[in-house]
Structure formats: structure tokens, C-alpha cells
Amino acid sequence: MQQWITGLNTTCVLCNDTQESCSHLFFECRYSEQVWKKLVGGMMQEGYTADWTELVEIISKPWLNQTMTFLIRYTLQATLHVIWRERNLRRHGEQPHDAAHLVQFIDKTLRLKLLSVKGTGNKHFEENLMICFGSR
């Protein structure tokens, strides 16, 4: 965008520290990394990463088991969407939300999604849901 519009401010509107890029926005930025870590840090444990390349690799192949793979993928999808939305709202002059607000919103989104698939009768799935929610 900077090539199209001269003088465009490309500083990250989430942290106001550095030039915005895909890898910075998702998740080198201390704001978005804080959101990501709060959501999946306990779930991923020692496998936790905020590195974009590593995250793409993790979601491209099965991770631990089917339920955990689903949880990591869906959490990543929801987090990317909400962070991008927050970024755009700030770019267009809307009131910023703190990281805790985004975590709460994403967590609620995840819970609603998981409740919609919970009734599958899969005991293993329900046990992993309890692990997921217990990790926060």
C-alpha cells in the first residue's frame, strides 16, 4: 500500500512500535502475541510458538491428535480474524480494545463453536475440550 500511496503511515496500529507486515501483525506484535499466548499457550505447552512460519507448519499437519489439531486451527482462524478486524477498526478511527477484550471475545466464539459440535457423543472429544478450557 505504501507503493500506491506516498506518505502512508505503515506503523502498526496495535503496538505503534514498528512497520506493519503480515508476520509482525500475526504475531510478532506484542499486542497480538499477548492475545495468541493467552488463548493457546496452555494448550500448546512446550510446543507454543508465535512465529508465523512455524504456525503455518503446525496447522498444515496433524498436531497431537484430531481434537487438538481442530482446536489449534480454529483458534488460529478466529484469532487472525479478530486481530485483523481490530487493526482495521483502529485504522479507521474506532476506539481501540485492549488485548483482554479480544481474548474474551475469541474465547466466547470458540466456546460457541465447540458447543455446536459437542453433542457428537465422542467421549475423547469432550475430554480434550475440558483440557483445552482447563489450560486457560
39, 106 contact by CB (below 8 A) = yes
Q: Which residues pair with 11 in a beta bridge?
A: 19
State the cell numbers at 67: 481434537
Q: What is the full per-residue pLDDT of the chain (136 aa) written as tens digits?
A: 556 666 677 899 999 988 888 889 888 999 999 999 999 998 888 889 999 888 888 888 776 677 778 888 899 999 999 999 999 999 899 999 999 999 999 999 988 887 776 655 666 666 666 766 676 6
Q: Where are the domains of the chain?
A: 22-134
**Helix count and strand count (H, E) for the chain:** 6, 0
pLDDT at residue number 61: 79
